[in-house]
Amino acid sequence: MPLRTLGSGGGANRGSRRGTGPPANPGLERGNPRAGPEGAGIRVRVGVDGQLRFRQIRLMAISEAARADLYTGLAEVLGRERAETLMAYLPTVDPVDVATRDDIRNLRETLDRRMEAFERRMEAFERRMDSFDRRMEAFEGALSRLYLTLVAGLFVIVAAMAGLTIAAP
């Protein structure tokens, strides 16, 4: 039986890059029940009476370095093809790091609540800014009236001074 290189052929090698280490686990992309998002899996055994026995197990995630070391050891003992086949059954991601639908739903609800609170604060800020704009317009009107009053008063004073200057011999 000829040995295949990583990335060649099909089956457990599909999707892996040539010569980069153990192949990716194709079962995760297809929804492998043994590698669920919570790290739990199901072990199925056939009992003595022929009945299927189900038992929930906890899968442990391994680092990429440990995964590569395991692949190297398996390839030395079993050969590359068998090592690739066996490595295909190991999960490639830490099951704890995978978000579940409930996680995403909770995140969406939290974001929705925060966005609603932010929108309420922005509306209150816009109302305060509108009130500030109205007060500024009122202040500008009062300032314009004061300016006109001062200019008119200054003209009166200048005219009075001119009249006194002309009337005085």
Task: Tell me phi and psi for residue 55, to 5 degrees.
Answer: -140, 130
Place of tokens 């003595």: 48
> For residues 21 and 130, what is the distance between their CA atoms, to the nearest angstrom?
64
What is the DSSP-derived secondary structure letter of residue 63? -
What is the reported pLDDT for 13?
Answer: 40
> For residues 68 and 71, what is the distance between their CA atoms, to the nearest angstrom?
5
For 95-139, how does the pLDDT look when each residue is reduced to its tens digit (9 = 90+)? 666 778 888 999 999 999 999 999 999 999 999 999 999 999 999
For 15-51, how does the pLDDT look when each residue is reduced to its tens digit (9 = 90+)? 444 444 444 444 333 344 444 444 455 555 666 776 7
Is the CB of residue 25 less than 8 Å from the CB of residue 11? no
Give the angle subtended at the CA of 44 by the CAs of 39 and 47, to the nearest 5°. Answer: 150
pTM: 0.37
What is the DSSP-derived secondary structure letter of residue 97? G
> For residues 25 and 6, what is the distance between their CA atoms, to the nearest angstrom?
13
What is the reported pLDDT for 18?
Answer: 43
B/e letters for 105-131, b = 16+ CB within 10 Å, e = fewer, are eeeeeeeeeeeeeeeeeeeeeeeeeee
Share of the chain above pLDDT 90, in %: 40
Model confidence at 158, in pLDDT bands (50, 70, 90)?
very high
> For residues 78 and 71, what is the distance between their CA atoms, to the nearest angstrom?
10
What is the reported pLDDT for 142?
Answer: 96
